[in-house]
Chains A and B, each alone.
Chain A
Amino acid sequence: DIQMTQSPPSLSASVGDRVTITCRASQAIRNDLGWYQQKPGKAPKSLIYAASSLYSGVPSRFSGSGSGTEFTLTISNLQPEDFATYYCLQHNSYPRTFGQGTLVEIK
């Protein structure tokens, strides 16, 4: 199985900050990665597919990059509604595997 390691596990940031979350794969996965946002008590929401493509309706302050084994999710100009847990998910091979999640908290 491909292991997905996210860092940091949690971070504190202020409104307006730029935040970067990293996801590392245990083996190369091309750019076969998605990013998902989950707010407390809610279902995940799909943000990004193919490492860097935003789903329709996702604000442009979200961006993704990376290929191979290292990927990043960047939130520029952090907004109050962005405080949530973020997960990466590799779609390269079965079984699909999630990162452990990164909790973005208000400083």
Chain B
Amino acid sequence: QVQLQESGPGLVQPSGTLSLTCVVSGGSISSSTWWSWVRQPPGKGLEWIGEIYQSGSTNYNPSLKSRVTISVDKSKNQFSLNLSSVTAADTALYYCARLEYYYNSRDHYSLYYVDHWGQGTLVTVSS
């Protein structure tokens, strides 16, 4: 059973860079799938940040793209999120997640769906 665990500073200064790591256990980050970051401001809904394939290919939310970098470290079986120039609006619970491959045999196409989630880590942006 794959498990995901986020870690990183709980407090970040405004205009600084938020850096989080997600350690994968019970599975290999080199498996043919995507790994994702999702966040949730206090009392609000979920927002997709972006994701990375084991090869290093990435997709980012355009609303954050200029500030986001997601990377993979295969030697440590983990992937990371960097979000620069943070403001109070970036205060949120940050979740990492794994996506699972799915093949639609009726219509003959494949997709990836979020199946496993980390427990989340709260990051507060404040001086």
Contacts and interface: CB of A to CB of B under 8 A. Distances in A.
Answer yes or no: are A and B bound together in one complex: yes
Interface string B103-127: 0100100011111111110000000
Q: Is the interface of B mostly helix, strand, loop or mixed?
A: strand
Q: Is the interface of A mostly helix, strand, loop or mixed?
A: loop
B115 A46 contact: yes
Contact of A43 (B113, B115, B118): B118
Contacts of B95: 43-44
B117 A95 contact: no
Given A30-B107, A43-B95, A87 B113 contact: no
A100 B44 CA distance: 8
Given A30-B107, A43-B95, A94-B59, A50 B113 contact: yes
Contacts of A45: 117
A45 B116 CA distance: 8
9 contacts: A34-B114, A49-B100, A50-B104, A50-B111, A55-B115, A87-B45, A89-B46, A98-B45, A98-B48
